Amino acid sequence: MNENVVIKRGTEIELDIESLAYGGKGVAKTNNFVIFVKNAIPGQKVLARIYKKRKGYAEASIKEILEESKHAEKVQCNHYYICSKLQSLSYNQQIIEKANQVEDTFRRLGGFSKFSLDKKIPSKQIFNYRNKMEFTFSPHRWVLDHEPVGVDRTFALGLHMTGRYDKILDIHNCHIQPEIGDRILSVARDVCQNNPQLRPYDPKTHVGYLRFLMLRFSFNTNDLMVNIVTSYHDINKLAPLSDTLLEKFPEITSMVNNVNTRKADVAFGEYETLLYGNPYIQEKLGNLTYNISANSFFQTNTIQGEVLYGEVEKLIGFQGDEIVYDLYCGTGTISLFLANKAKEIYGFEVIRSALEDAEENADLNNIENVQFLKANLDTFFNSGQLPRRVPRPDVVIVDPPRAGMHPDMAKYLPKLKAKKIVYISCNPTTQARDAKTLYEKGYDIKKSIMVDMFPHTYHIESVVHLTLN
């Protein structure tokens, strides 16, 4: 049917959506030419319009759904398609598609032709699961087609439009955060719009006061943190917002003001002022209690985080005498979770504040067999900075950022000659790349699992267990 259609920008074409690509776009093919279709799901037949053409592929948007997929599901969110969420796809099929993406990535990019996941673990809770949300204040609201002509474009409190640093979608309800988060958003919006001094920060002109509203929720202790990020310090100016939130929401146990004077559009402040309660919330994983400050890293899905760490424990198969390295350890959540299973654990992390949190949580839980070392893992081992008192590892746990390990780290890691490497990743592409490097240096993939930490999004968490030949 599409044999004679010329694929170029503006072309309209009927397509059958075959699968999902990493990133959440539907995949269709015409004459073996791949077209990625925004917001399409497997099983749909669509009339699509090409908006980008490249040498090996094209990208398109849906103009009309001609036939609906049997996997289609009624969505709860009014703007899921803007946020690139997968709510329109049944959750069971989400798991299938994510697993297919991991397997395809390892086969194509990693060169593991027979790679297959040993286990696929869905999330126990598929809505209201996130324990951290970060919303942006902005004077540049993205106005949707169905919104009134006279809507105020000078204020928004919500999420970034995909691919836009300057445009914010005004959010009233987000179904992946606890319900109280929606109510806090509503009150915060009303207060700010009624108080002219509470101007959103403009990333173009670098003028304005309010930058971010960050919420942290505890699922096991019911703690709740509100972190208001501003461009400069002025508690009196902030008072209408902070006082109203504390008055309306007695559930709040911690309120802080992070100040970011830099141009960088990040919620990580240069310094912090405690406005109410504790400077942290507490959360429990297993038998452990963690203090989590505003800028601490913690798995964003508490329930699945515990599942993930339990699977890591099973993969390692502790005997009790292991020396373990936890690379990119962050605030030490994995190290501490596994501490009673190993002889000694050494956590390596470059961010000093994360290490301070890790050490504090070790003390909080009376854990004495875990040490945390400051280390830039891009260069740390190559430059011979490992203290002589630190023994060689039997097991290495790797949980790097989305970009994966630095090439030098990936090449050096086999020199440690650990019997087991457990590699955790939120990006199967870089994980497959690094696994290939480890394979070339003598490691085989023994087991692999996928733990869904992010229902209704395209994000994936996968774990591979590699053993030394």
Q: Which residues are catalytic?
A: 426
Q: Which of 202, 86, 76, 207 is nearest to 136 (CA)?
A: 202
For residue 159, give both structure tokens.
């999420």
Q: Do the beta carbons of residue 437 and residue 409 sit within 8 Å?
A: no
CA atoms within 13 A on the CB side of 215: 27
Strand arrangement of the beta sheet that strand 19-20 belongs to = 12-16, 45-53, 57-67, 33-38, 26-30, 19-20
Take residue 152 and report the two structure tokens written for it: 């105020």
* Cα(385)–Cα(388) distance, integer angstroms: 9
Rg (CA), the chain: 24
Residue listed under structure tokens 């030394």? 468
